[in-house]
Amino acid sequence: MSDKLKVHWYIQPGDVTGNALGYNTHNKYMMRFTDPFIEKTHEAAIALHITSAEFFRPIPGKVNVLFTMWEFLDIPPSYVKSFALADALIVPSTFCRDLFRKYTDKPIYVCHEGVDKDLFKYHSRRPPAVTNGEKFRFLWLGASNPRKGYPLVLEAIKVFEQYPHLEIYLKTTMPKLTWKDAFKKWWEHRKNIMYDGKKRLAISRIFRRLPKPIMSNQVTVMGKHKNIIFDTRKLSTDDLIKLYQSTHCFLFPTLGEGWGLPLSEAMATGCPCIATPVTGCR
């Protein structure tokens, strides 16, 4: 007989964990590193759900444990309803624990997200040889939405264009839409951007200036001094690590995080980071 703890691992990789980097990455590594200790079986009395709380559906007759997180200072009603249905919660940060305690008396356990140090290795950096044409590289990485600070980065492009010895590398993913449809989709969400009308218009002009090929899966270089790089490829883990290691400073102007996994990954490679000190990042 196995002496492993039996768990019904309800959310499998690629299911309704959605496209969220934190959920998918945490789920993948937890499944691998708990194999010596946990037997995954549908017959188990305990069901573990790794998902955004609004997708949580308890399994009747089991002890349902929900691993979830939230990014801001208050939570939506759907989360409160899910907390009432769960038997216990697991969160990736003390921020989430303290926030959720305001809405539920269920047990809450903190399990920090981690970085595989065998992969995300420390990389020694040296100042770029500017006189030889090398550039000081800033990296921004994330989804192209306001929460991840994407509009702020677009606004910064016109600043970077003034300094040929600096480079900003934007790693994001874009839907494979026509340029017209993609811009329309972005414009519909403009009200979520916390700027006045003039700045909102300025950002839209920057967005219109971007070359159409960035909507496909490739790298586009632009800017007065070719120091603005848009990368919309789907990178392997090895390529992502190389990108972190090629960077002199990582930018993370997020408006809210349950944990902030890219920040941990960049720091693991020894990259200096500039981040907003909010919610889970703290």
Reported as a pLDDT band with limits 50, 70 and 90, residue 201 is low
Other beta carbons within 10 angstroms of residue 282's beta carbon come to 12
- CA distance to 66, 67, 82, 102, 119, per residue, from 44 (Å): 15, 17, 21, 31, 33
Residue 146 φ/ψ, nearest 5 degrees: -60, -35
Rounded Cα distance, 158 and 219, in Å: 19
Q: Residue 208: what pLDDT?
A: 54
Partner residues linked to 49 by β-bridges: 66
| Sequence letter at residue 70 | W
Query: Is the whole model's pTM more than 0.95, yes or no?
Result: no
| Residue 61 in tokens | 């007759």
User: Could you give the domains of the chain?
Assistant: 5-110 (no CATH), 130-281 (3.40.50.2000)
Residue 177 has pLDDT above 80, yes or no: no
- CA distance to 108, 114, 190, 213, per residue, from 99 (Å): 11, 21, 28, 42
Q: Residue 184: what pLDDT?
A: 64
Q: Residue 226: what pLDDT?
A: 87
Rounded Cα distance, 41 and 176, in Å: 38
| Residue 110 in tokens | 């903190």
| Residue 62 in tokens | 């089991």
Residue 256 has pLDDT above 80, yes or no: yes
| Residue 45 in tokens | 């009395």
Rounded Cα distance, 103 and 215, in Å: 41
Condensed to tens digits (0 to 9), the pLDDT of residues 88-122 reads 999 999 999 999 999 999 999 999 888 888 999 99
Contact 69, 258 (CB under 8 A): yes
Reported as a pLDDT band with limits 50, 70 and 90, residue 209 is low
Burial class of residue 96 in the structure, from the number of CB atoms within 10 Å of its CB (0-12 exposed, 13-18 middle, 19+ buried): buried
Rounded Cα distance, 158 and 160, in Å: 6
